[in-house]
Structure 1
Amino acid sequence: MSEKLGNGIVVGTNGSAGSARAVQYAALEAERLGVGLDIVHVLPDFTALAPTTDIFPTDLDSDVEAIGRTLLQQAADAAAGHAGTVQCRQLLRVGRTVPTLVDVARDARMIVLGHETVTPLRRIYTGAVTMGVMARAGSPVVSVPADWSPPTGPGRVVVGLKSSRHSAELLAAAFRQASARGARLVVVHAWSLPNMYDDRIVTRTREAAWTAAATGDVEELLAGERAQFPHVDVEVRSVHDQAVHALLEEVEGPDLLVLVRRAHGFPPAANLGSTARALLQRSPCPVLVLPAQDVIAEVQDLELEAAGAREE
């Protein structure tokens, strides 16, 4: 039976600089929200990985377990140093990292993972875990850069708004984050046409008019949340630009970048779009990715189908 945290925060640790910052971020968030913190380390299953030979160290599992428990204790000590009032649990699991983390965090309020700027070769592993969890989790996931530090002074929360679809849940989450932090909220909507049309139609004649129209549409979507959070200072930036470039221009100093995960690829619930992937790799600030409700439903359907297949 899986041991799960009820409505708290789950953070994954592997001893890297990125996971150290993730533990710090998760501890501070748990303290702010008044919830518990589960610190999870996933060991590889060496039984499955071992070669079919009798020349294999029989004490490997115990050595690896000892390392895992040491990493958990170090992370718990660090969490206590950042937020001493937070109740922590240390969870050591064995299996594939992404599905194990997703399972442990099934009922969590938030999952926090570290993300490091690494070489493309190393990213094959490290990036796959962060993006894999983000693509499959039914809870919000935060990716924390290795050089992150808690903000000081007035903060900023940036939210990337692509369309009206999922805008209600995305904007509600962004306003909540800004309100809790006493931060300014910057709503970025980037728009453009394919290159051949963009230059001939937009740049030459329509850019100002279309930008004004897009800004008006965004303001309409904001009306409900503005009324609910009148104390949140909001800036709307509707720009003629590619989404990744426009958002990276805004995230040099904010507390948080907020995005929503849509259905991409096949299966649609288990993939991130190209914009989210690029921002996760390049953003200098923590990135919060929300699972849209229709994507959560798809994840649950996939899990039910997989369970049915296992039972046959």
Structure 2
Amino acid sequence: MPRTITVGLDGSSESRAAAEWAAREAELRGLPVKLVQVWEPVPEPMAQAPLLGTETHQHWTERIPRESADVLRLRHPDLEVSTEQLTGRPAEALVDAAKDADMLVLGSRGLGGIGGFLVGSVGLAVVAHSERPVILVRAAEQADDKHENEGDVPSAATPPRPGPVVLGLDIGSPDEALPGFAFDAAARRNAPLRVVHAWNPPPYYAYGMALEPAVEREMAKGAAAALTAALSPWRKKYPDVEVVEQAHYGSPSLLLIDASRDASLVVVGRRIRRSSVGTHIGTVTHGVLHHATAPVAVVAHD
């Protein structure tokens, strides 16, 4: 089956922003885009109402994806765009649609004056159960990588460098999927990669035992050395990617949220758990999803 970037489309400004982000990503990767719209049937008594019956169904399953596809083809004439209509529960249908995709892109509502996302129940369920990378894009997200605003297009000879790709890495449980995705994303964007690792002292220091400055310095050196060692094989594989390592004491979610302010993409992980019960996202990823100011890629790993 051909590779593709799949977008969950519902006609909202958030999903349109997701489609635009997916189109730019597809151009970087040389892949087609598939716009997927899920129709969740309403109960029969409600289906008889004029605003919820056949006309609404036709609007959702035909007009919205068709118009969105036309917009993408106009903005990206060399991009292959297809549409697909599915019926069922949105989260389940989107997780199933993502199985054959390189990644699934969803829209996420911004929090107004507060930086970050508002991730709904469908988005959280998809992130929790998809084993493919899921990217959350805000409606306000601008095409910074390509500076699409008219009158603000820089010279082709001196294109601006995009913001860094930020990777949150737990060196205590490394997995190739997470740094592999981040290094590849940075290389395709010709962007630097900023790797953030947060470390904390052993738990017994939380019970009244102060951390001596000399001990803290040694722990910081150890964390930095471990991060360098973990990234060494990836630096060799991607020699052209500029890597900035940051091993800091503190909360990983707060450090990543702060790093997202000038980022083009934030990459975090989610450990795969086969149970169908619960969200299985993790506190760090959950915090980043809701408060990062850049698109967030959640990469599932074992």
Q: TM-score range by the shorter chain?
A: 0.7 to 0.9
For 1:172, the equivalent position in structure 2 comes to 180
Cα distance in 2 for partners of 1:201, 1:183 equals 40
Does the CA contact (< 8 Å) of 1:161 and 1:167 recur in 2?
no
Distance 1:164 1:204, change over 3 A: closer
- Secondary structure of 1:251's counterpart equals helix
- Secondary structure of 1:135's counterpart equals helix
Task: Report how far residue 267 of structure 1 moved.
Answer: 4.3
For 1:137, the equivalent position in structure 2 comes to 130
Task: Report how far residue 27 of structure 1 moved.
Answer: 0.9
Task: Report how far residue 167 of structure 1 moved.
Answer: 3.3
Q: Would you say 1:229 and 2:238 are equivalent positions?
A: yes
For 1:90, the equivalent position in structure 2 comes to 83
- Secondary structure of 1:90's counterpart equals strand
- Identity in percent: 27
Does the CA contact (< 8 Å) of 1:9 and 1:111 recur in 2?
yes
User: 1:101 is matched by which residue type in structure 2?
Assistant: L
The equivalent position to 2:98 in structure 1, one of 99, 105, 110, is 105
Cα distance in 2 for partners of 1:186, 1:214 equals 16
- Secondary structure of 2:197's counterpart equals strand
- Secondary structure of 2:77's counterpart equals coil
The equivalent position to 2:49 in structure 1, one of 34, 48, 57, is 57
For 1:299, the equivalent position in structure 2 comes to none
Task: Report how far residue 270 of structure 1 moved.
Answer: 5.0
The equivalent position to 2:295 in structure 1, one of 286, 290, 295, is 286
Task: Report how far residue 237 of structure 1 moved.
Answer: 0.3
For 2:19, the equivalent position in structure 1 comes to 23
Does the CA contact (< 8 Å) of 2:124 and 2:279 recur in 1?
no
User: 1:253 is matched by which residue type in structure 2?
Assistant: D
Q: Pairwise mapping of residues 1-312 of structure 1 onto structure 2 (< 5 A)?
A: 6-46=2-42, 49-51=43-45, 56-57=48-49, 60-68=52-60, 69-118=62-111, 127-152=120-145, 153-155=160-162, 156-193=164-201, 197-198=205-206, 200-202=209-211, 204-263=213-272, 267=276, 271-292=280-301, 294=302
Distance 1:131 1:22, change over 3 A: same
- How many residues are paired up? 280
Task: Report how far residue 266 of structure 1 moved.
Answer: 5.1
Question: Over residues 232-279 of structure 1, what are the superposed CA-to-partner deviations in whole Å (9 max), with x where a residue is unaligned?
Answer: 111110000101111111110111111111146954795211211111
Question: Over residues 41-98 of structure 1, what are the superposed CA-to-partner deviations in whole Å (9 max), with x where a residue is unaligned?
Answer: 111112xx335x9x94388442222221221122112212332211111111221000
- Secondary structure of 1:167's counterpart equals coil
Distance 1:167 1:207, change over 3 A: farther
Distance 1:195 1:217, change over 3 A: closer
Task: Report how far residue 157 of structure 1 moved.
Answer: 0.6
Does the CA contact (< 8 Å) of 2:171 and 2:226 recur in 1?
no
User: What TM-score comes out, normalization by structure 2 length?
Assistant: 0.84
After superposing on structure 2, the runs of 4+ consecutive aligned residues of structure 1 that deviate more than 6 Å are: none
Task: Report how far residue 206 of structure 1 moved.
Answer: 2.5
For 1:307, the equivalent position in structure 2 comes to none
User: 2:120 is matched by which residue type in structure 1?
Assistant: G
Q: Which has the higher helix share?
A: 1
User: What TM-score comes out, normalization by structure 1 length?
Assistant: 0.82
Q: What 5-or-longer segments of structure 2 have no aligned partner?
A: 113-117, 146-159
Cα distance in 2 for partners of 1:154, 1:221 equals 26
- RMSD, aligned α-carbons: 2.5
Task: Report how far residue 197 of structure 1 moved.
Answer: 2.2
Does the CA contact (< 8 Å) of 2:28 and 2:189 recur in 1?
no
